[in-house]
């Protein structure tokens, strides 16, 4: 990833390709949950102060693939691995939400693929 992004963790500021080690523990835990899930969805994820709230845990629904359609991403990643663009977009969306609830995070191949957020009309 050649894009330079600034990621904040407390008072520490890192410039360059963001890595998992640059994220808060809560964001790292959410991304690890998404990676382990592989395919499915995470429902009713609370967000407070731009951070995911994992206690109480959100509802996790795993989709079972009956046929292998191609290679999948490994279930775990090395500590400090560079973030994928979908992971960066999720972290930025959490910050933009501030406080609220993500109704659904759709997970495809260990990455966040889409979000559903309830809005007031």
* pLDDT tens-place string over residues 37-61: 999 999 999 999 999 999 999 999 9
Residue 121: predicted pLDDT: 79
- Which token pair is 72? 């999948």
Pick the residue with more confidence: 14 or 92?
Answer: 92
Percentage above 70 pLDDT, the chain? 77
Instruction: Classify 66 as helix, strand or coil.
Output: coil
**Which of the four pLDDT bands, split at 50, 70 and 90, describes residue 25?**
very high
Distance CA 23, CA 29 (A): 10
Place of tokens 């991304």: 31
Cβ 108 vs Cβ 53: under 8 Å = no
Q: pLDDT value at position 120? A: 77
In angstroms, rounded to a whole number, what is the distance separating the alpha carbons of residues 4 and 115? 24
| Other beta carbons less than 10 A from residue 40's beta carbon | 16
Residue 41's nearest CA partner among 117, 96, 113, 121 is: 113
CA distance 87 to 108: 12
- Confidence band for 10, pLDDT divided at 50, 70 and 90: very low
- The residue among 101, 90, 97 whose CA lies nearest residue 32 is 90
């Amino acid at each position: 990833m050649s894009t330079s992004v600034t990621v904040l963790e407390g008072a520490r500021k890192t410039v360059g390709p963001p890595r998992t080690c640059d994220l808060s523990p809560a964001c790292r835990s959410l991304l690890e949950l998404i990676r382990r899930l592989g395919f499915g969805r995470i429902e009713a994820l609370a967000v407070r102060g731009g951070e995911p709230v994992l206690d109480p845990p959100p509802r996790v629904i795993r989709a079972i693939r009956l046929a292998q359609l191609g290679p999948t991403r490994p279930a775990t990643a090395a500590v400090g691995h560079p973030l994928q663009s979908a992971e960066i977009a999720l972290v930025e969306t959490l910050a933009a939400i501030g406080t609220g609830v993500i109704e659904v995070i759709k997970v495809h191949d260990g990455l966040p693929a889409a979000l559903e957020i309830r809005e007031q009309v």
